[in-house]
Structure 1
Amino acid sequence: MTDAPQAAEKPAFQLKSSTVSLMALELAYFDDDSFEAALREKIRQAPGFFKDMPIIVSLDHYEGPTGELDFFKLLGICRRHNIHVVGVRGGNDDQRRLARHAALAILPDSGRQDREPAAPDTAEPEAATPAPAGPAPFRVISQPVRSGQQIVAPDGDLIILAPVQAGAEVLAAGNIHVYGPLRGRALAGVHGLESARVFCQSLEAELVSIAGHYKISEDLQESGWKTAVQVQLRDDLLVVTPLERS
């Protein structure tokens, strides 16, 4: 007897919904020499963080000429440094056409939706009834986050009741709370929430990021190292302050 008939009936794949948080590279203009020099400097600051990283290119704030936007050159530079561009967000029709020619996925603009103008209405507007506010979403992890693991809270806070080991990565749309040593990488406010914070009982992190602004281990050791702290964003700078103990 053989299992070939049963194997033939089994589908080759299934499509399932999945939430993946991606780092966005916000492009202001593109010049291949200056772009590669800036990329090298970022990688020098945190080499382990960028290796084999998938990213999207955000054109939400792009100010350079479209004719200079060579996605093939940009992709080649990123690949030389083991960074993989998987898609483009925002941009105009010409820029999205160039991205499609480079076989990149097209993502919708962040925080913007195309809307048709509303027809004029002479009737008195009805007062909107606010929906009752529910509890903010959060995710709780009770086991240690080991090296090589990635834990994501895509819609709210991430609460970890155990250590985050070196080589691990934790990401949240909101705040990150670590009730133990934080030795890996913590990225809060991954969708751009600048008010997000990172709390931990012992700061020993490889990297901490809030809304795309980050500090690596060498910078973090200057204040609050191996103590209970909170990290927050003030004037585009990450600030580390001690947690008050009662």
Structure 2
Amino acid sequence: MTDTATAGARPCFQLKGATVSLTALELHYFEIGPFEDTLRDKIRQAPGFFRDIPLIVSLEKYEGLTSELDFFQIIGICRRHNIHVAGVRGGNDDQRRLARNASLALLPASARREESVTEPAAASPEADMAPTTEAFQGPVAAKIINQTVRSGQQVYAPEGDLIILAPVQAGAEVLAAGNIHVYGPLRGRALAGVHGLESARVFCQSLEAELVSIAGHYKISEDIQDHGWKSAVHIQLKDDQLVVMSLDKA
């Protein structure tokens, strides 16, 4: 027995909740040749972004046959390109069994908010006069960051907007359930609407980002350098495409 394995010694690890951003590969069908060709094209667009990233394979829009779904091939192809498949999201029981056999983590399908429509109950004078007992739910306070977000740092606003009153440096990452406001240059990665809020926006005083994402739809720097680069812009999602507009036109 080691000296540390004694009563009262500090445990060698702790389990804590953590929030990290993952790239999802939305698979429609799987054929080895087309899969690797498409992956090469994506990596060629931004080789630095894809190197050593963790990847989740999303099966929520998979239309191919389950018998054609070979996770060992997918893992092998991705590893050849320095991409690490960490798990699978969604899928039916057979597809998730195949993922488990390939030692992949199983994630639930994305939560989709559905509005239920119910007919209002008939009102009565007594009901109109009765005081409500439901507590008012005020707006979620924005998270405000005063200092520079440096390379390697991650700042996350899990419920509302994120407001940064300083630059976001290259290699940094900022995430928010709502909007992201950067009152300075945005050089790192900005991911707004991380829980699927498609009306979220990204505002910045100088667009120099490595990646911008809204509700999972993203553009890398090469895709946005012809649209408002190094100027004050706001970015929103329209018809599943990110649109960059000058703040003068907001």
The verdict on a shared fold, with TM-score over 0.5 as the criterion, is yes
Q: Deviations over 1:77-102 (max 9, x none)?
A: 11111211111111111101000000
Whole-angstrom distance in 2 between the partners of 1:218 and 1:97: 38
State the TM-score, normalizing by the size of structure 2: 0.83
Q: Deviations over 1:147-199 (max 9, x none)?
A: 22222223332211110112222222221110111112212222332211110
Which residue identity does 2:44 align to in structure 1? Answer: R
1:244 aligned counterpart, secondary structure: helix
Map 1:48-127 to 2 at 5 A: 48-111=48-111
* 1:5–1:15 distance in 2 versus 1, CA, 3 Å: closer
Residue pair 1:57, 1:85 contacting (<8 A) in 2 also: yes
The equivalent position to 1:227 in structure 2, one of 219, 231, 247, is: 231
1:168 to 2:172 alignment: yes
Residue pair 2:164, 2:181 contacting (<8 A) in 1 also: yes
Map 1:30-45 to 2 at 5 A: 30-45=30-45
Matched residue, 1:121: none
Residue pair 2:60, 2:91 contacting (<8 A) in 1 also: yes
Whole-angstrom distance in 1 between the partners of 2:101 and 2:8: 36
Q: Deviations over 1:49-74 (max 9, x none)?
A: 21211121111111110000000000
State the TM-score, normalizing by the size of structure 1: 0.85
Matched residue, 2:189: 185
Which residue identity does 1:217 align to in structure 2? Answer: S
Shift of 1:7: 8.6
> Could you list the runs of 5+ residues in structure 1 that have no partner in the other structure?
114-123
Whole-angstrom distance in 2 between the partners of 1:11 and 1:164: 36
Deviates further, 150-159 or 76-85: 150-159
Aligned length: 234
Shift of 1:108: 1.4
Q: Deviations over 1:105-157 (max 9, x none)?
A: 111121269xxxxxxxxxx99x9986633222532221111122222223332
Q: Deviations over 1:21-64 (max 9, x none)?
A: 32221111111111111111111112222121112111111111
Residue pair 2:52, 2:84 contacting (<8 A) in 1 also: yes
1:209 aligned counterpart, secondary structure: strand
Residue pair 1:21, 1:154 contacting (<8 A) in 2 also: no
Residue pair 2:46, 2:222 contacting (<8 A) in 1 also: no
Structure with bigger RCO (C-alpha 8 Å, 6+ apart): 1
Q: Deviations over 1:191-238 (max 9, x none)?
A: 332211110011111222222322222332212222111011111221
Deviates further, 164-173 or 60-69: 164-173
Which residue identity does 1:109 align to in structure 2? Answer: A
Which residue identity does 1:162 align to in structure 2? Answer: A
Which residue identity does 1:49 align to in structure 2? Answer: F
> Could you list the runs of 5+ residues in structure 2 that have no partner in the other structure?
114-120
Matched residue, 1:146: 150
